[in-house]
Structure 1
Amino acid sequence: MDQTTNPPIAQSDPASAFADLRGEVSLLRRAVEGLTAERQNAPDYTPTLTGLSSRLARTEELLGKIAESPAMRLTPENLAVSIARASETARAGDRETLDKSGATLRASIATINGVVEHAWAADGQWKQLYWTGGGGLLIGALGALSILHLIG
């Protein structure tokens, strides 16, 4: 109680002291009833908190799944190794294709070289045949001239 708001109680008057006490108790009773009424009028947050709790549990479950996923275990070093392995695997197929293509190309070139060599050999044989025929014709002509010269 504040002395400035309440007048000082006379020590000799018990009846007025009880009246003042009765007023203060009455005031306290109304204050407590007001608090009780306020508490009864307060909204019930139980459904909202239950919903929040279930959503938090679901979020925690999803975060656990995300944390356990293989992508979360990838470090830059692990990722680099995985990329290198994948590129080696991809290049192995390309290397095999290139090797087969190279072998096919070498076989084709060898076949073409054989055909060209055969053609050159045939051409050389024709040239040799012309030279031999021409030489034989020349020798025959010279022989005929010399026989005509001896006869004549």
Structure 2
Amino acid sequence: MTDEITQTAPADDPAVAFEELRRAVSLTRAAIEGLTAARERMPDYGETLGEMLGALKDADDRLSRIERSPAISLSPAAMAAEIVKASEAARAADQKQMHEVRDEMLRAIGRIDTMVDHGRAAHQQRRLIISTGVGAAAGAMLLMAILPGAVARSLPASWHVPEWMAARTIGLDQREAGEKMIATARRESTSRGR
């Protein structure tokens, strides 16, 4: 302890006193410069703090809206009743939409059935027309094979229609056709007689 007192005791020599003062000022100056340098090296948190302040304001606004919401003031039983009511309304809307879709599908199916029926009817009608045409053609051929002979036989004999038809069939006039028919008849009779 006595050493400390002797070391801190003022010296009579001004040069020693100035040297001690110079060391104290130098030490103080170094300390101040160190504090200033440390302060300059400190990061700027202003932008980050501003962002945090904005986020806190947004959170505060949201909390205020939640606190003003009528759902917060409801009891659990009332909240359950509101949920049931909302779900019934949603189901009713879904039911209505499902009925509308079902009705539209039934109408579309009806239109498709109608088109298929029209297609079938057209196909059946085409088959009926073809079969009727074939039947009519066959009937006309049969009628044309039978009717002229029946008509020719029903006409008066003085008209000589069968003879005329025979000549037309052979492709000669009546006289030549008659001669040819007589010659053919003679040959057949002679060949039968043998």
TMscore range, shorter length: 0.3 to 0.5
Larger Rg: 2
TM-score, normalization by structure 2: 0.37
TM-score, normalization by structure 1: 0.46
